[in-house]
């Protein structure tokens, strides 16, 4: 049985809800904040892992980075191809599973934003992915990752939500905390005209400490936690869990 995230019909159905114009436009600010948080030079080689329609890859390339953008979804990569062409930029687009993608010592920076991590049922797959990232980074390289954490989720969990897209379609979401607070089970129903489609999937959620420990196991020398890409503390006011994981520590630069 295929894994849920390999089903392109899901990504196509929820695209209007995940990536309205405002979300696409926000990629520029998110990348600027990620670079500021890491303190990397405004050039080099960057990997956008789980690139979706390419909003972060485009923001990186516009700053002079040589960018490789990786996603498993052919649908997302086609959107990224269209957006890259509109921006008149050169970006390498690669269709690959992040559990398998690895290029030794190739990147100064890896971005994994918008909760594109935590999809796998087997915890060993998550560790493998982080080890791949670590091996793909150059000596002074770093990973900036953004996810929704257990702490943030517990503070504002809603079992049922709905959302209307600009095209008039509606997304109904039902959520449940399962497996001893290790995963969130989701039922998403998309209503577009007379067509109704329902998708079931679950995502692993980490506490700040759990994600830090996993990154250390993967080989990262230092891991810093933040409550958002703007650099706010990871405390009760945190909006997201953002980590800056350095391959050989901050002093490696």
Is the pTM higher than 0.75? yes
pLDDT, tens digit, for every residue of 180-229? 999 999 999 999 999 999 999 999 999 999 999 999 999 999 999 999 99
Buried-state track 205-237, b at ≥16 Cβ within 10 A, e below 16: bbbbeebbebbeebebbbbbbbbbbeeeebeee
Alpha helix ranges (H) inside 157-252: 208-217
- CA-CA-CA-CA dihedral for 155, 207, 144, 86, to nearest 10: -50
Q: Which residue has the tokens 């700053």?
A: 63
Name the token pair of 234.
């990871």
Which is more confident, 251 or 22?
22
Handedness of CA 36, 42, 45, 51 (dihedral sign): positive
3-state secondary structure of 5: helix
At the topology level, CATH places domain 4-149+206-252 in Rossmann fold (3.40.50)
Task: Tell me: pLDDT of 148 over 90.
Answer: yes
Residue 101 parent element (H or E) = none
Output the DSSP codes for 34-96.
HHHHHT--S-EEEEEET-TTSHHHHHHHHTTEEEEEEES-HHHHHHHHHHHHHHT---EEEE-
Give the 3-state secondary structure of residue 119. Answer: coil
- pLDDT tens for residues 100-115? 999 999 999 999 999 9
**What are the backbone angles phi and psi of residue 47, rounded to the nearest 5°?**
-115, 125
Whose CA is closest to 84, among 50, 109, 107, 61? Answer: 61
- Give the C-alpha separation, 93 to 111, whole Å: 15
**Residue-level pLDDT at 253:** 47
């Amino acid at each position: 049985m295929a894994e849920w995230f390999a089903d392109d019909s899901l990504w196509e159905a929820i695209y209007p809800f995940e990536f309205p114009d405002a979300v696409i436009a926000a990629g520029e600010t998110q990348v600027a904040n990620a670079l500021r948080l890491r303190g990397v030079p405004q050039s080099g080689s960057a990997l956008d892992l789980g690139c979706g329609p390419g909003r972060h890859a485009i923001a990186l390339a516009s700053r002079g980075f040589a960018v490789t953008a990786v996603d498993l979804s052919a649908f997302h990569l086609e959107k990224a191809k269209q957006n890259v062409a509109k921006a008149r930029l050169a970006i390498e687009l690669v269709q690959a599973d992040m559990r398998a993608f690895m290029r030794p010592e190739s990147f100064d920076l890896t971005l994994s934003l918008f909760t594109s991590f935590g999809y796998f049922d087997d915890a060993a797959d998550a560790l493998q992915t982080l080890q791949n990232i670590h091996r793909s980074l150059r000596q002074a390289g770093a990973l900036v990752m953004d996810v929704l954490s257990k702490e943030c989720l517990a503070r504002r969990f809603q079992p049922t939500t709905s959302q209307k897209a600009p095209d008039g379609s509606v997304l109904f979401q039902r959520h449940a905390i399962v497996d001893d607070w290790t995963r969130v089970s989701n039922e998403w129903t998309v209503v577009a005209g007379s067509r109704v489609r329902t998708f079931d999937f679950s995502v692993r959620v980490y506490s700040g400490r759990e994600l830090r420990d996993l990154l250390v196991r993967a080989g990262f020398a230092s891991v810093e936690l933040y409550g958002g890409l703007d650099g706010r503390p990871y405390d009760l006011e945190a909006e997201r869990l953002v980590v800056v994981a350095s391959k050989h520590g901050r002093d490696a630069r």
